[in-house]
Amino acid sequence: MERDASCDAHEGMSPVIEAEVKARVDDPEQVLAALRERALGEEAVYRDIYYDLPDRSLTAQGRELRVRVIERSGSERVVFTYKAPVVDEETGSKPEHETRAESAQALDNILVGLGYEHLVALTKYCTDFPLTTTTGRECLATVVTVPELEGAFIEVETLVEEADLSEGLTAVRGVLAELGIGEDAFTTEQYTDAVIAYRSA
């Protein structure tokens, strides 16, 4: 999962897969109310910078390199993430490596020094809800808005090994179904692509 709370769970491990389904939300207040009946929500601001090489080869291969600063409850945390290419085309789920870091500026200096460029910087306003399904699987549901994008989104995700990807996605889809969100609302469009397109227009 691309949340700071998940770093402890898989820092230093072999890559796990972020089994995630994202959907557009027509009535975010209704979804937030339903989530608050299940868990305590926590608001956060994610300030992300995505990187690529000058030839944009990472993007072409479906890879992601990101430095994220998380502002939550008056504190900041820095998370460095690499995501490998998609392993499930229907949902866009990817294997990932993720770790905390001390300084976003130091990471930026290192990456730029190695020849990487800023692909896009964006801000996500999030409310996170840690959930446990009836089968005992831990998931994270996040309601998201991005200033440049119309409307709101919900992401539901869980960390799995490759052999458990199908089970994890079934659990995630189950959470969305319980919230009244159907498959017609699902989307695999990435925030990076949508923000780049908006700014280009």
The ranges assigned to domains in the chain are 4-200
How far is the C-alpha of 196 from the C-alpha of 121, rounded, in Å? Answer: 9
Q: What is the CA radius of gyration of the chain?
A: 16
Strands 16-25 and 42-52: unpaired
CATH of domain 4-200: 2.40.320.10
Q: Which pLDDT band, with edges at 50, 70 and 90, does 14 fall under?
A: low
DSSP three-state, residue 61: coil
The CA distance from 4 to 27, in Å, is 27
Write the pLDDT tens digit of every residue in 118-175: 999 999 999 999 999 888 899 999 999 999 999 999 999 999 998 999 999 999 999 9
The tens digit of pLDDT for each residue in 40-95 reads: 999 999 999 999 999 999 999 999 999 999 999 999 999 999 999 999 999 999 99
pLDDT for the residue 134: 84
